[in-house]
Structure 1
């Protein structure tokens, strides 16, 4: 275990009593908490801080402990706690509990014994015959107590308490007290807890003439506590100090790395709210500088809100008055020296400020602490008294008692928030899991980013950037070469800014939510942020930017390729009357070998035969060849092949020739071939082979640049060109039927290349017009959208992938899947009208072209009768493969992620959209159709992505009952 794990942690603070009630007695319990561990894991937190759950009369919500070794019965038993702890550890989660060192309850046996005359326990507490000792020491709870002394009639003396009268302070000058508290720590650490929050740690010792706070004796006691912990357990268990003090008073608790491991950054917290309200970064920058200089192994704990009031003890009087005025103008919302409100009501329900503050919480230097319910924007009930208003039951659903408990309402330990905009009817986990835009799903996405860069945010350096616009807070986090830029707009208005990024010149800012690269840094970097907006960027070298390689792209050709014995010109390989048998046999063997590696070819040939060929270009020789491919069955293919006397840096090299020195290339992946063919069609192609005529034309414009979108499809500047590399009759049907479809998103062909022999005709290529814009092949678009979406989900465990989170992350791809479902249903309807009967599209994503947010139909498959499930299976398979390929490019993404995303896209989007649009549709046999198509595709190309899809659908087919099933 990494002894510095706490630096990378995200802590979730909760009260067992408030979280979930499993036995329906009105109180949360450990069994309920255990049942909710999947929710916490899905949220993205990895450490739980549990508020007191010990035996207590509950006068101070459990901080008044009457037995350190017993669990309050309403929370369960020690066995329940162990079961919870074991499961938390199994899920990789740490657990921190309270160690209340300063005081006990008056009901504790120690105190009851200490009250008796001449009791040996008397010295466990601080007594006085007069309340005049330690005069001038401040009273912390001014709203409830007038003195730090309370008279006990049984003892006949006053006892000392820094908090409530029913919480007498322990006497740490008595070595037996320290020994007893060490034993309490050992008991729980032996059970396996990972750390302790040291409650009210500054008040352990009292000395006359001092403030009785942060005394040197207290600091030394903390160091002894750590020493005892590490001597017994070694490094790995942590101490977290609650020391609500000024920076210079808190720093000694870290010692020289021999004090506490962590301390709350109380000085920073109220300044974040002040900076937000003043729209000036000054308060945050000041406190960041004041809290520097802690030991290398130490860490600040950051928080926005917790179970207490928003404390304003350690601000100046002017700052306190300002914060009271702007955040708690109603005096009923004030308590002691603070504000008793939860985070969302403090922010007036402002979603943008909520997101901004969480962005700061999770990216500033320190370990963030999230208070239960803040992830859904829970409200409060400040009229419950004391600080109970921010400790109400967790709101799980709109069901009775907020889904917290099935107990009668009057038996709940506190009523849930049930009125106003924060009522559990509107604000609850169940509803927010379904909404892509909920507070919960935002926090999950942000925490996933935090976890992906945990070392940088947890351990990295922080450098404030001197932006001239003071409404902007900008800083760089850096660790082991990774640099992350955080920019936050504290203003309620849009702000422009120039970032001084001299040391980042030439780097590319990659936005962490979308993974989208921004322009490289060249000079001052100009940005604009909306009201309370923020941005997170990874500053990445240009060469490290991930460039998506098409799945059909050829790998680098081998150094050694097959030899074709060629003594004369390459015509002997193609022209029947001139062929040289030995050379052609070697040529066809080499061609079969290279074609077996081509993903666009559905048949992997064992034998190849030249059916016909025509020379399109003389120098260098370029032949358009019709080939017959054989492997248990026969298919016809069209392939351009070029001969070059020199080896070139070009795709498709598959053979070399000797003694006539030269090289043979198949040009299915060469953009130059498609540009040349379009040029010849524009000129009006007329040619004759030994067997047939070749006639072609292209009435449209001739673009200067033609981009190869995939083998067989090129486009550019308002023109598309399809070449029928696979001769399955699809282009023949496309030419015949597409012009007859009255659908605005169909691109009918305008030009063509035909092969004619008597009455026999083949369509070898088609051209057509495109709207303006940059075209993209539909599968490539799906893969790019999948990469963006999955990167947003990276770091989430499968349990955390709620429908809402999936919908938000995969929004663009889901929209594409729904659009395709609608288009396919409309197309099936139109094809039935035009062709009579039911004809299939018989194409997957390869039938479509994407352009400026629109998807156009470009091609049909050969005419076949069949079920719409066959077409749906082809589209679904392509969507799933796009997801699988995108997942393969992600580092550390969960292996279940592509399956969950694919199910969401196929069944939640594609199928439902088709079902809603089609006039008649039955899903009977759907898993079987997917299995059949996936098997065919695996046979076509043995790749891991294709095997995973097949295995997934085989499992679904097994789990799906047949017609006779239940």
Structure 2
């Protein structure tokens, strides 16, 4: 059986609003993406993932879709999409589009019809419940804070929204809803796109009794009743049969608060559900008591254990991981787990090395390849994100002083990754000739794509090499995963073995020097495939690792 092409590929995520503005509107657009295709080809990525570009009131930056069949005018037109597909295919690259089918905007015509009357045929497209003693139907909470239920006053019933109140959850128990969604997805597949990234797809099946949640350890009441729900695998198989398989699409599911067992099932051979999954457990290793809006410190041992569990578990089941540090909802990894000041270059390369040598398909988020950092805005006025604004209000109401609140916001806000792409040292980092919708990070004159391309030792070329190595060395795709030095509080190390070959990855995860000692007896000759220092030790038996030093050793018996 032929190996799927996406197993040796690398995907590049584009947040169009912040990528490249060709109209001086202050917002990026599709023509701006087309303009940068040669840059992405130079990086070596195989596929672009576009976050939603459909018509939307932009309450949640496009994840609140009001018309699945239309393009948000600020981004361009359907013709622009067609030109983008053609431009990618001409360069032997592919397009993955983001699709949001757990919920729609309340501006969507379905919801506008549904709220007019309990008897409207579209009423059953959404999830409605009567009040409970004058209150919400149950105690489920929204992932954006507050109740997951909103009262629609005209019909005096509550509708479910697991996210913002303008994002009403669709009723997947309704066959017609699913058929409408599959028809829409086939419309886009017919446009020539090559895959879908499915937003919070594991939340579409809810326990239909909608019970009161007696206990939720992290305060996320209701989560166990809608996460990887009772009919989820049935729905995934049905969607695969109706959309993915007929068009030979590559698919990745965003899995909110999922389990390893669930993702093994979604992606194992013969499951006929999804090709790969995103999980976020490793990016909660710096959450205090599991809560995002805290100033928690990284639990490094926990981070290593989570990544090892998923590497080993998915490999054993034949499943497939989507590998990532960054996306549009996460802080910049070089600011989060690296050092975005003194060891900016070294730590960015180290983090890339550790992730890209694992088994799975790597996803690079725009600007990650040049080491873009969190902007560390000084005031809440600079932040646009609805989740951030809600968190700020809640933290202030809890009695926390503004300085402490802002320290948390600066670390956790989704806007950390949404500042405009830094192309050059010109005004607004070359992103736009107009005033950007979100301020540019202040360090754009030092950190930008133009400067990175002119420097042979830049973070950009390190990523380029990692992408190339995945294509050249089959062990990266097929090898097993054995973690090393799991109790070491400085070193991240693991081995990959396959077909008589061995990869050894050694990384100092911190800014002080440390020593690595190979924990096994057999030590053979090895070559260094890649290092983030020019003169790394050629022998891996005992290595003095400098701050954030990362080395990939390769050997073949």
Runs of 4+ in 1 over 6 A off after TM superposition: 276-279, 514-521
> Are 2:252 and 2:278, in contact at CA under 8 Å, matched by a contact in 1?
no
SS in 2 for 1:379: coil
- The number of residue pairs the alignment matches comes to 492
Instruction: Give the match for residue 148 of structure 1.
Output: 148
> Are 2:201 and 2:253, in contact at CA under 8 Å, matched by a contact in 1?
no
Change (3 A) 1:405 1:493: closer
Question: Paired residue for 2:138, among 128, 132, 135?
Answer: 135
Change (3 A) 1:277 1:161: closer
Instruction: Give the match for residue 419 of structure 2.
Output: 392
Change (3 A) 1:28 1:279: closer
Change (3 A) 1:461 1:133: same
Distance in 2 of aligned mates of 1:99 and 1:22 = 25
Matched, 1:532 2:548: yes
Instruction: Give the match for residue 285 of structure 1.
Output: 305
TM-score of the superposed pair, with normalisation by structure 1: 0.48
> Are 1:279 and 1:490, in contact at CA under 8 Å, matched by a contact in 2?
no
**CA offsets, 1:442-479, max 9 Å, x none?**
333343334432x3223322122358855333222234
Question: Paired residue for 1:483, among 494, 502, 508?
Answer: 502
Distance in 2 of aligned mates of 1:90 and 1:7 = 21
* Larger RCO (CA under 8 A, 6+ residues apart): 2
SS in 1 for 2:516: strand
Instruction: Give the match for residue 441 of structure 1.
Output: 461
> Are 2:102 and 2:201, in contact at CA under 8 Å, matched by a contact in 1?
yes
Question: Paired residue for 2:266, among 250, 253, 273?
Answer: 253
Question: Paired residue for 1:415, among 431, 439, 448?
Answer: 439
> Are 1:271 and 1:284, in contact at CA under 8 Å, matched by a contact in 2?
no
TM-score of the superposed pair, with normalisation by structure 2: 0.81
> Are 1:19 and 1:33, in contact at CA under 8 Å, matched by a contact in 2?
yes
> Are 1:20 and 1:29, in contact at CA under 8 Å, matched by a contact in 2?
yes
Instruction: Give the match for residue 246 of structure 2.
Output: 232
> Are 2:129 and 2:137, in contact at CA under 8 Å, matched by a contact in 1?
no
- 1:400, distance to aligned residue in structure 2 (A): 2.3
Aligned pairs (5 A) from 1:160-309? 160-207=160-207, 208=209, 209=211, 211-233=225-247, 235-254=248-267, 257-271=271-285, 281=301, 283-289=303-309, 292-294=312-314, 298-309=319-330
Instruction: Give the match for residue 115 of structure 2.
Output: 115
Distance in 2 of aligned mates of 1:467 and 1:15 = 35
Distance in 2 of aligned mates of 1:106 and 1:25 = 26
Say which one has the larger Rg.
1
SS in 2 for 1:111: helix
SS in 1 for 2:544: strand
**CA offsets, 1:4-59, max 9 Å, x none?**
22221211111122111223333222222111011111112212111000011111
Aligned pairs (5 A) from 1:330-479? 341-346=331-336, 347-349=338-340, 350-351=343-344, 352-381=346-375, 382=377, 383-386=382-385, 387-406=414-433, 408-409=434-435, 412-417=436-441, 419=442, 422=443, 424-453=444-473, 455-465=474-484, 469=488, 471-479=490-498
SS in 2 for 1:370: strand
SS in 1 for 2:258: coil
Distance in 1 of aligned mates of 2:245 and 2:10 = 27
- 1:353, distance to aligned residue in structure 2 (A): 2.5
Distance in 1 of aligned mates of 2:538 and 2:440 = 49
SS in 2 for 1:269: helix
Unaligned runs of 5+ in 1: 310-340, 542-966
Instruction: Give the match for residue 728 of structure 1.
Output: none
Change (3 A) 1:6 1:128: same
Question: Paired residue for 1:512, among 529, 532, 536?
Answer: 529
Distance in 2 of aligned mates of 1:114 and 1:263 = 33
Distance in 2 of aligned mates of 1:282 and 1:242 = 20
SS in 2 for 1:154: coil
> Are 2:142 and 2:164, in contact at CA under 8 Å, matched by a contact in 1?
no
Change (3 A) 1:231 1:129: same
Change (3 A) 1:427 1:493: closer
